[in-house]
Structure 1
Amino acid sequence: MDGEAEEPVALSDLRAEAVALIDDLSEAELRATIEYARDRLQFVHPEVTEQIEARDGEEIVRIDDRGAYTEVVKRQPCATGCDECPHEPILYHVTEESQLDGTTDLHWTYLGRVYEG
């Protein structure tokens, strides 16, 4: 490599108008654009931790972002007539999975009970 950087090639998902605007920005404006784009992405597509909500009767005990997955501990209501309630909370690993239609869904993997005490 001769040390010279090659001109970047815009991704096909980026509109030509946006590429033209970005190409005319100064370094400071580019850095500000990157920061804005990161914030905008969080607004448009929130982190997994922000998508997790308790359903009726559930209690979210803890949510921890572990990078590749999100660890969620929650208590869930039992079936009517359960004589063993209350149970210990349950641990899940939650990941975001891309769907064929371009959307994403949360995938919950049951890991087991969390014993308190």
Structure 2
Amino acid sequence: MSSDPAEPTPPEGLPDELASTLHQLRPEELRRTIIHAQELLNYNHESPSPVEPKPGDDILSVTEHEGYTEVIKYVTETVNGTESRVGPFHYHVTEERHPDGTVKPYWKFIGDINLDDEEKRNS
């Protein structure tokens, strides 16, 4: 993998070999991989995660909890035409049913994350 700080970091628990293979895929191959992974989830009667990264997101961790998904990620902001990576930020993602019957993810911002504190908490 490259040392580019804007390059997405594989989520915790993803095997290194799989992360390396995904990194080598072209965009159309990545799209097909996503479709196949969603098909496998459906086949195994698992609902897909409500966490869909936006372009420029760098998801550091996704942790499923009862009733919500915890996400820690960097985001890319564009200010005056200049892109910059900011964060990491802590979110809780839930599924929200809309009046038309659709279910969409709802991202609740929890706060900034200090990675030094996070590493201490997890050790």
Q: Normalising to structure 2: TM-score of the pair?
A: 0.50
Q: Report the AA paired with residue 101 of structure 1.
A: D
* Contact 1:88 1:116 (C-alpha < 8 Å) held by counterparts: no
Q: How far off is 1:116 after superposition? A: 1.2
Cα deviation digits, residues 67-106 of structure 1 (max 9, x gap)? 1111011100123359xx6543000000001112221010
Change (3 A) 1:58 1:98: same
Higher RCO structure (Cα 8 Å, ≥6 apart)? 2
The correspondence of residues 4-83 of structure 1 with structure 2, limited to 5 A, is 41-42=45-46, 46-47=47-48, 50-80=49-79
TM-score by length of 1: 0.53
Change (3 A) 1:104 1:76: same
Larger Rg: 1
Q: How far apart are the structure 1 equivalents of 2:93 and 2:50? A: 11
Distance (Å, rounded) in 2 between the aligned partners of 1:86 and 1:51: 23
Runs of 5+ consecutive residues of structure 2 not aligned to the other structure: 1-41, 117-123
Residue equivalent to 2:89? 90
Alpha-carbon RMSD across the aligned residues, in angstroms, is: 2.7
Paired residue total: 74
